[in-house]
Structure 1
Amino acid sequence: MTDGENDRPQVLERNLRILEAILFASSEPLDANTLLAYLGEGVRVVECLELLQQRYAGRGVNLVRRGDKWAFRTAEDLSFLLRRDEQESRPLSRAALETLSIIAYHQPATRAEIEEVRGVATGKGTLDLLMEAGWIRMRGRRRTPGRPVTYGTTDAFLDHFGLESISDLPGLDELKGSGLLSGRLPQNLQIPLPFDGTALRDDEDPLEPDDLGADEDGE
């Protein structure tokens, strides 16, 4: 299948129907490479997804982008209709919310860097809780003495908070208004431009197999 076949109406419609079916049946967002396996080489998948997204704009279900992945989600203005069916979950503690927001804006961040911003110690249990929720992950190890683990957000984080990318995060005032940052944080705290990518930076080394389940000091 060549690039030009996207321009043939019957082929394009078939590709859109396939994407619609696969995404509808999937419980998790899917990336373009995964979807390409159902279409064949040469298909401009992102172009098809963007067209499908336009077709679903304004409907009760929208096609949304979460990082490099795509999924059908209830339209934002109708989400209240489904709240009665949502299972109640234990709300995150203040420490967990602060830790999550600091990681989101400062990623990749180590536990020591999180503590420096918060001004208080961050227990490993807080990080474990956020990893169990699927919102943060261990990225790598910083190339500094002790080689501490670095943490970053996940596509599940983007999906849960309705963000297409990290660059869509709200500003500092909005975060404080929502309660994600407390008054204990430094008044002169500046929100940096977050690192919007999954690849390791130059100051990070890959995780080793035995890093899973270990804390940032390797214990």
Structure 2
Amino acid sequence: MDNDHLKKIVEGALLASGRSLDIGHLQGLFDIDQVPAKDQLLAVLEDIENECGNRGYELTKTASGYRFQVRQELAPWINRLWEEKPKKYSRALLETLALIAYRQPLTRGDIEEIRGVSVSSEIVKTLLEREWVRVVGHRDVPGRPALYATTREFLDYFNLKSLEDLPALSEIRDIDSIDPELSLQVAETREAETTENAEEQLSDSLEESAVEQEMPETDEESRLQQN
């Protein structure tokens, strides 16, 4: 199959899917004797991405695959298509999400110990319903509390390809390289401060991204944001 025809099929599939599609999903659109090679699909996706350069939407690679979405800088105008205001999440929810993202897996008790305040059941319920976190196991202690970790949906929503795209805690490594003789107590103190700052940065980033991206869940939304 020539690339031009393949490109049209891929574009149509991405527009109609309403979610991210990976290479396996795209290959699954074809009969066994017509399945395009991975390299051919990657080349087509690269062409589509380049062609979107001057358009109001873009092809984005997420943790789950590829999708079309409206460019974030256009959100102030596109949001006016809906009368309902974008949902705003509380600072406590975003701080909880940031802690899970950095230190996963965590129990609810771990989060409460770090934040110094209780975590409401509503926050945990919201994170689970949004599929931003999931239960990945239980700690082997009395009560067997659930262990929470982030999901692919979390990465997709906040436009992260992987957890490596989170703000880096490079300062910790820099401390070790500058003075490897630092006492454990000093290193632990500096690490806690650095992690806290990075978590605050991520929380701010998540808050901004959530306000910009959250729209009422309608059929039209999937065609614009594609997930």
TM class by smaller structure: 0.5 to 0.7
How many residues matched? 171
Give 1:58 deviation, angstroms: 3.4
Instruction: State yes or no: 1:22 paired with 2:13.
Output: yes
**1:130-209 alignment, distance < 5 Å:** 130-138=127-135, 140-142=136-138, 144-146=140-142, 147-170=144-167, 188=193, 190=195
Counterparts of 1:77 and 1:152, CA distance in 2 = 30
RMSD across aligned positions (CA): 3.0
1:13 paired residue number: 4
Q: Specify which structure has the bigger relative contact order, considering alpha-carbon pairs within 8 angstroms and separated by 6 or more residues.
A: 2
**Amino-acid identity (%):** 33
Please tell me whether the aligned partners of residues 105 and 193 of structure 1 are also in contact (alpha carbons under 8 angstroms): no
SS at match of 1:64: strand
2:37 paired residue number: 43
2:68 paired residue number: 72
**Alpha-carbon deviations, 1:43-81, whole Å to 9, x = none?**
213443233222223321100011132110012332222
Amino acid at match of 1:156: E
**1:54-65 alignment, distance < 5 Å:** 54-65=50-61
Give 1:151 deviation, angstroms: 1.8
Max Rg structure: 2
Amino acid at match of 2:78: L
Structure 2 gap segments, 5+ residues each: 170-190, 200-227
Instruction: State yes or no: 1:91 paired with 2:96.
Output: no
Give 1:128 deviation, angstroms: 0.6
SS at match of 2:28: helix
Structure 1 gap segments, 5+ residues each: 1-9, 173-185, 195-219
Please tell me whether the aligned partners of residues 106 and 192 of structure 1 are also in contact (alpha carbons under 8 angstroms): no
**Alpha-carbon deviations, 1:145-203, whole Å to 9, x = none?**
2543222223332333233332222468xxxxxxxxxxxxx972516999xxxxxxxxx
Please tell me whether the aligned partners of residues 66 and 164 of structure 1 are also in contact (alpha carbons under 8 angstroms): yes
Which ranges of 4 or more aligned residues in structure 1 deviate by more than 3 Å?
39-42, 45-48, 191-194
Counterparts of 1:47 and 1:149, CA distance in 2 = 43
Amino acid at match of 2:21: L
